[in-house]
Amino acid sequence: MHGFPCAIGYIDGKHVRILSPGSPAERDYVNRKNFHSINVQVTCDSRGLENGVLLGESGYPCRTFLPTPYLNAANAVQERYNDSQSKTRCCIERLFGVWKRRFHILHAELIAIINLIYVTFIQIRLKLEKCSNVIIACAVLHNLAKLWGEPEVLPEDELRYVETPAYIGHQDGRGIRDHIANNYFAR
């Protein structure tokens, strides 16, 4: 995937807007952008490849199975690693786009009415207990649609698999990340 070896998918989170659940749980559902939401963590694969790693953004801890970007790339190798990792991230962003287009209830969209200065957001208008079930049902239905070959709104990207040499070294996320960067991004 964009020159990134052994990547079997990407992991990321997305906030799905909900109505305020009311007291006392209200504060637990206010996100950093100051609206009520449920934070949904999603993984998406790159066509079922095995024996690889999930890629995650810098908000995740760097682990053996989850190499993350270098926070401060120190050289050209690390910069190319970060660039490839960022481009590979498009698969999960694409999934979020398809998912929100297929199930509009997941799409928190700004609606502005001109000349009235009235702004609102589309949100799940259900009780908190049902919101998680709706989100899970959308994920299951999306996976079934993929399994049954239902068309998507966005075209699929061309993905390719690159064989990775075995890593023999200290088993930690940073060691594996360095192994991938040095083997695939040191031109």
The pLDDT assigned to 162 comes to: 52
The pLDDT assigned to 51 comes to: 64
Question: What span, in angstroms and rounded, lies between the C-alpha atoms of 98 and 92?
Answer: 10
Residue 107 has pLDDT above 50, yes or no: yes
Residue 160 has pLDDT above 60, yes or no: no
Please report where in the chains the tokens 């990775």 appear, as a residue: 164
Helices (H), 9-53: none
The answer to whether the predicted template modeling score (pTM) of the entire model surpasses 0.75 is: no
The pLDDT assigned to 1 comes to: 64
Residue 34 has pLDDT above 50, yes or no: yes
Q: Rounded mean pLDDT of 47-70?
A: 82
Contact 102, 15 (CB under 8 A): no
Residue 6 has pLDDT above 90, yes or no: no
Contact 117, 39 (CB under 8 A): no
Contact 121, 106 (CB under 8 A): no
Query: Please, which pLDDT band fits residue 111 given cuts at 50, 70 and 90?
Result: very low
Question: What span, in angstroms and rounded, lies between the C-alpha atoms of 95 and 103?
Answer: 12
